[in-house]
Amino acid sequence: MMMMMMMMMMMMMKMKVCSWVNWMCSQGHSSYITHLDWSPDNNFIMSNSGDYEILYWDVPNGCKLIRNRSECKDIDWATYTCVLGYHVFGVWPEGSDGTDINALIRSHKRKVIALADDFCKVHLFAYPCSTPKAPSHKYSAHSSHVTNVSFLYNDSHLVSTGGKDTSIMQWRLVERPAISLPDGQLSNSAPDFIPPPLSVTTPTQEPISAPTANGTQDPYPDSPAPSALTPPPSALTPPPSDSSVSLKDSLDPSDDTATPSDEGLPPLTS
């Protein structure tokens, strides 16, 4: 009798193990999984893989692969980290390959997408972003490829991590009026610099009487400025790039975040 009970217990344990394995192991991708997101009701999963494939899964039916992908294109996912999906196709620039975008995150308020690319940039897109060649704001602070981005729980800040520069950057998300703003609202500055609340202005240098050899005054001379003049604070605001977008949100550096431009500034005194 004891032997029979032990055999029955072993059979029951084996059945439970097999059931767990069948539930957890669903095959569909032919490469490693890179990103995964859940639907709000926990009934569906969206996954990306190393061979740039998008698959959708029906969780209640044993995590069964959904063959008709269009059935899931309108799901408002609880999280969005997949770099490939119906809502984020517009973040991919023309001519890019699958390795150009390293990470993507949607804000908790479902308003913007932050993106980490292979070219030292952090991008900010409007969400959803399903239109090809969608415009974005681009921000520079890392000196190497950006490996990941993540919003804080209240979307007040964004954190980005670098690759070879082994740095962590903290950015402040600032809501602005719905006007057309150029790229470069991110000001690389000393830690105590606070950017203007509504607009970004580019400081200019006072005119110098002595012209250069070509008859025009160089606004950014390489040689040291005369002692009577204050050096232009042009390093506070990088020049605008060739794209602009009307977004209500933009990134500003956090007060306690050092950027590469800080290395050339004199030490702060109290």
DSSP letters spanning 27-60: ---SS-EEEEEE-TTSSEEEEEETTS-EEEEETT
pLDDT of residue 91: 94
pLDDT of residue 2: 60
Q: What are phi and psi of 135, to 5 degrees?
A: -75, 160
C-alpha dist (Å) from residue 219 to 100, 146, 183, 190, 237: 36, 33, 21, 22, 15
- Bridge partners of 35? 48
Amino acid at 11: M
Q: Using an 8 Å Cβ cutoff, are 183 and 240 in contact?
A: yes
What are the extents of the domains in the chain? 28-77, 87-193+244-261
Residue whose pair of structure tokens reads 């690389």 in the numeric block = 188
- Bridge partners of 33? 49
Here the tokens at position 220 are: 């950014």
CB atoms within 10 A of CB 81: 20
**Which regions in the chain score pLDDT beneath 50?**
13-24, 179-209, 211-221, 223-247, 255-270
pLDDT of residue 197: 38
- The H-or-E segment that residue 126 falls in is strand 121-126
- The H-or-E segment that residue 175 falls in is strand 168-175
CA separation for the pair 197, 42 (Å, rounded): 40
- CA-CA-CA-CA torsion sign (198, 200, 206, 207): negative
Q: Using an 8 Å Cβ cutoff, are 251 and 181 in contact?
A: no
The mean pLDDT value of the chain amounts to: 71
pLDDT of residue 28: 78
CATH number attached to the domain at 87-193+244-261: 2.130.10.10
CB atoms within 10 A of CB 216: 8
